[in-house]
Structure 1
Amino acid sequence: MYSQYLCQFAQVHEQFRIPELMSVSELHGFNIELPDDMDVTRPFMILGLESDEHARILTQRCILVKSICEFYARGKTYEELHMQTRADPSKWARYVENTSFKMKVTAYNHSIPQTRARDVVEDFSYMGMLGKIDMIQPEITFVCYEEYVDKHGTTREKHEGDGEFREVFFGRLIDEGSARRLVKSFDVKKRKYYGNTSMEAEISLLMANQTLASPGMLIYDPFVGTGSMAYTTAHFGALFFGSDIDGRQMRGKAESPGIIRAAAQYGVDKRIIDLCTFDVTQNPWRCGEMFDAIVTDPPYGIRAGAKRLGRKARPSGAPPRTVAPRSESRPDDQPYIPPTKPYELSALATDLILLSRYLLRHNGRLVFFLPTVTDEYEEVDVQTMLCEGMEVVANSLQDFGSWGRRLITIRKTSSEKYAPPTFEPEGRRLELEKADVASKHVPAHKDFRMKYFKKFNKEDYVA
């Protein structure tokens, strides 16, 4: 039996809200009933939950939840709000006799004058609360939320438009969001080790929630870089393994590896299983179904380009390469550094899904970012990357205007054992045909780096 709860969100990353709620509820084994008229752009939403305990779990784990209340009433005016509150006294009657309380009046996108806030509180006198008013440690807190239209960027007087709210909500506070404090705790600017590709704290925490990170899980990042995903997943109790083709990103210049130093800052260095340097297309994994989740932000060429071992294609007519015999020593006595070639984004994304299908356990999740061109993106772009045994769970956009990046969450649905991917075009084509997807479709994220530096002007890159 579901009861109604009023959820207040932080007004950022609107498309990430529902996937985060559903992931946390799945992790803890309970269901959420979403409203039919759901509008993720608004800061308030009425959810169906089975108990107050489930509400507390959401406030303690969801990064985007500011508070959750037991829902009492809503209205376009206070008259409508009071009518609904009076109509169902069973919700609050049990607190009348001997419960200390306080009442809080607040607003989204507005500052309420203290005098009017006091008048609002006095208008609830019909509830007849007989308990002690305690503003410090009350047993219960009643909250009245006024929602105003967003007017950021306009010049206004301090209390201009006071009372002209879009809607007002009333309920009993269950808990305030404690997980949002983690955004400051993992602030990249306060981190001992980071780089120009380090993921911002809020996004890395959202990604960690999408993996269902929890104690006992083993999570892998194949493009670990400076380790942003290591700290947040390990904070939630997971064990972490990372790899990268460039070991310098993981090590830094100090004696102790940079990722380990930063992990020690957060008290999770013991949960970093290992960090290895290798090309993901030449990986050392000799058995699959090892990991509970794979989470990564693949390089897509804006701040750092994706690379794989190999030599770039030679221009037609170019003289053949001369290769020195293996027995000859280098004149500068330096170790051999193998050549690398670019790893095109659409090929990387498809290979990442195939690798995840091989390495993930049944019901394991792959969570990664995919950059997309806003005007060219179609839903089929993501479907063309899928292979047999994998399904999309969530697809959330972080919009930057002419382009954006999508947080894709994919679940392994099959318990079948799969062979490791070949990382070659023919292998990708066969897998896509087996999955019966439109493998001939050219996704909008193909050649994303080139499109980005041409400022997404189709005339410059479409013949």
Structure 2
Amino acid sequence: MKNKYLFVFAQVHEEFRIPELLSIAELYNINIGLPEDVDTSRPFMVIELDSEEDAHTLAQRCILIKWVCDFYARGKTYAEVHEQTRANSSKYSQYIENTSFKFIVTAYNHSISQRRQREVVESFSYMALLGKIDMKNPDITFMCFEEYADKRGTTREKLEGDGAFREVFFGRLITEGTARPLVKTFDVKKRSYFGNTSMEAEISLLMANQTLAAPGKLIYDPFVGTGSLAYVTAHFGAWLYGSDIDGRQMRGKENVPGIRRAAAQYGVADRILDLCTFDVTQNPWRCGDLFDAIITDPPYGVRAGAKRLGRKKPTKKGIVERTGLTLRPDDQPYIPPTKPYELSALATDLILLARHMLKTGGRLVFFLPTVTDEYEEVDVQTMLCDGMDVIANSLQDFGSWGRRLITIRKTSDKSYPRPTFEPVVNQSDGNTPEVEHIPAHRDFREKYFRGFKKDEDRTTPLEQQ
């Protein structure tokens, strides 16, 4: 029989909560029973697990967990809570004698007065706890959480509505979320090397959990940039290989490459296998089925645009195309030209690359920016190919636009050929015209700088070049 546990979450990135829980449960083979009516707008969730050890494991790895309690009761009133607590006396009867304890009464969206906190604690006197009250280092801690409606944006007295809660939860504290402090550990502001496109720590950690990063896993970031995703995946024990078309992002300006310096700061330098400069569409991989996961935040043009090798316009007549080994007249190394890499084409190519490079069961985790008013579920589905299935799609909402953390699993055990990275041409039978679906992330950069305003002219700057 499964036991019930009260999970209290940090009320941020609500849509990432369930995918993270399920990912870590899969990583550690934990049987988890979620409630049928999951409401991520609330920070409380009663979850069924096989053992208290499983609760500790989840709290040690999930970034969004604040507390986990052995669940005793919940109700709209304290009368309901007391009735359920009395019925579950077997849960606390073993702590009645010779066990020091304390009570914590707190609230979500509200501040409870000291007077009423004391009244709440005294209302549990029927538990007849005989142990010593120890507010500093007790053997056990009982926690009572009152949930209030969100009244942000309204003017009110500090204690207005005290006691008019939506619901109250009660249980025994098992553990705090020990993974959550990692958000401060990997804070970009404290990092020895970062750039204007460095991913914030909390999101980086959530992405790493989606990859199931663990000791012995080999993970690849094809747009590694300044390495934000490399440090967190390496922290969880995985080996990391990174590449980027622009080596300056990885190196920085000092003798020791910037990513190496930051990795040493976090004590994970030995887990960064290598960092190479190449265009992902001209990659050097000679075989597939190599990586356990691919994690990346592709550039989408707001602070840095995606590039691939090639020219924006054909070379002028009479000019011979140079190779990477040819020297210019001034003896400087030849730097190959690049052209913009349109986001929708990049996303499709990335999935094809992942299908080729991932082991069976491996995951591709990446961010996809979308226009809020234009997004449809089919936008993601049309990017998929045979052998690749979406298992999570979480939105980080910025209003008129948002970015979606997409997690795709390779479900096939086939070995797929290396993608050609050539544009896909829709096939038609000649009788029915092929209508191409235009996803919300197509030409995202141009839409962003246009303020997401719709107009009749659909010509983009890239098309005008």
Which segment is superposed worse, 185-194 or 78-87? 78-87
Aligned to 1:457: 453
Give, in whole Å, the separation in 2 of the partners of 1:80 and 1:325.
79
* CA deviation profile, 1:9-64 (whole Å, cap 9, x unmatched): 10100000000000000000012111111101101011111111111111111100
Q: Which runs of 5+ in 2 are unaligned?
A: 428-433, 460-465
| 1:293-341 residue CA offsets vs partner (Å, 9 max, x unmatched) | 0000000111000000011135xxx963633777985233211000111
Q: How far 1:460 moved relative to its partner?
A: 5.3
Indicate the residue corresponding to 1:434 in structure 2.
none
Letter in 1 for 2:356: Y
Q: Is the 8 A contact 1:384 1:439 kept in 2?
A: no
CA contact (8 A) 1:451 1:461 kept: no
- Aligned amino acid, residue 401 of structure 1: G
1:116-155 equivalences in 2 (<5 Å): 116-155=116-155
Q: What runs of 5+ residues in structure 1 fail to find an aligned partner?
A: 431-437
Partners of 2:63 and 2:457 in 1: CA distance: 39
Q: Which residue of 1 aligns with 2:462?
A: none
Quote the offset at 1:134 in angstroms: 1.8
Deviations 1:84-104 (A, max 9, x none): 212221222222123221111
Q: Does 1:2 align with 2:2?
A: yes
Which deviations, in whole Å up to 9, do the C-alpha atoms of 1:122-170 show, x marking residues without a partner? 1100011112222222221110001111222333322222111111100
Q: Matched residues in 2 for 1:45 and 1:56: separation?
A: 16
Question: 2:430 corresponds to which residue?
Answer: none
With over 3 angstroms needed to count, the CA separation of the structure-2 counterparts of 1:55 and 1:325, relative to structure 1, is closer
Aligned to 1:443: 439
- What is the aligned partner in structure 1 of residue 305 from structure 2? 305
CA distance in 1, matches of 2:52, 2:158: 36
- Partner of 2:455, secondary structure, is helix
Q: Secondary structure at the match of 1:341?
A: strand
Counterparts in 2 of 1:8 and 1:321: CA distance versus 1, 3 Å:
farther
Q: Partners in 2 of 1:415 and 1:67 — Cα distance? A: 39
Q: 1:145 & 1:35 partners in 2: Cα distance?
A: 19
Residue 361 of structure 1: aligned partner: 359
Q: 2:345 aligns with which of 344, 347, 367?
A: 347
Q: Are residues 320 and 155 of structure 1, via their aligned partners in 2, closer, same or farther at CA, if it must alter by over 3 Å?
A: farther
Q: Which amino acid aligns with 2:181?
A: R
Where do 1:193-342 residues align within 5 Å?
Answer: 193-314=193-314, 320=317, 322-323=319-320, 329-342=327-340
1:250 aligns to what SS in structure 2?
helix
Which residue identity does 2:126 align to in structure 1? Y
CA distance in 2, matches of 1:157, 1:404: 35
How many Å separate the matches in 1 of 2:435 and 2:400?
26
Q: Residue 445 of structure 1 aligns to which amino acid in structure 2?
A: H
Distance (whole Å) between structure 2 residues aligned to residue 52 and residue 122 of structure 1:
28
Distance in 1 between residues matched to 2:343 and 2:334, nearest whole Å: 27
Distance of 1:203 and 1:460 partners within structure 2? 36
Runs of 4+ in 1 over 6 A off after TM superposition: 324-328
> Does the 8 Å CA contact 1:73/1:81 hold for their aligned counterparts?
yes
Counterparts of 1:195 and 1:286, CA distance in 2 = 32
Q: Give the secondary structure class of the aligned counterpart of 2:33.
A: coil
Matches of 1:412 and 1:88, distance apart in 2: 45
- Measure the CA separation in 1 of the matches of 2:102 and 2:436: 63
Comparing 154-163 and 301-310, the one that deviates more:
154-163
- Alpha-carbon distance between aligned partners in 1 of 2:231 and 2:321, rounded to the nearest angstrom: 44
Q: 1:417 aligns with which of 412, 415, 421?
A: 415
Which amino acid letter does the alignment assign opposite residue 411 of structure 2? T
SS in 2 for 1:180: coil
| AA partner of residue 456 (structure 1) | F
Instruction: Return the alpha-carbon distance in structure 2 between the equivalents of residues 262 and 61 of structure 1.
Output: 22
Distance 1:267 1:341 in 2: 37
SS at match of 2:32: coil
Compared with structure 1, are the counterparts of its residues 188 and 429 closer, same or farther at alpha carbon in structure 2 (3 Å cutoff)? farther
Q: Percent identity?
A: 72
1:181-207 Cα shifts (integer Å, max 9, x gaps): 000010000100000000000000000
Aligned partner letter, 1:118: R
Amino acid at match of 1:9: F
Quick one: structure 1 residues 68 and 271, their matched pair in 2 at CA, closer, same or farther if it must change by over 3 Å? same
Contact in 1 for aligned 2:3/2:51 (Cα 8 Å): yes
- Displacement of 1:282 after TM fit? 0.3
AA aligned to 2:14 is: E
- Quote the Cα distance in structure 1 between the aligned partners of 2:58 and 2:156: 35
* Cα contact 1:300–1:345 (8 A) shared by 2: yes
**Alignment map for 1:372-451 (pairs within 5 Å):** 372-426=370-424, 440-451=436-447
Query: Is the 1:454–1:460 Cα contact (8 Å) retained in structure 2?
Result: no
* Whole-Å separation in 2 of the counterparts to 1:401 and 1:40: 18
Paired AA for residue 319 in structure 2: T
State which drifts further: 85-94 or 177-186: 85-94
> Within 5 Å, which residues of 2 pair with 1:39-188?
39-188=39-188
Go from structure 1 to structure 2 and tell me whether the alpha carbon gap of 1:53 and 1:340 turns closer, same or farther (over 3 Å shift).
same
Bigger Cα displacement from structure 2, 323-332 vs 343-352: 323-332
* Letter paired with 2:453: N
The answer on whether the counterparts of 2:326 and 2:333 sit within 8 Å (CA) in structure 1 is: no
C-alpha distance in structure 2 between counterparts of 1:300 and 1:282, whole Å:
19
Does the 8 Å contact 2:327/2:333 carry over to 1?
no
Asked if 2 retains the 8 angstrom alpha-carbon contact of 1:394 and 1:409, the reply is yes
Change (3 A) 1:173 1:208: same
In 1, Cα distance between equivalents of 2:408 and 2:140: 41
Number of corresponding residues? 452
Aligned position for 1:433 = none
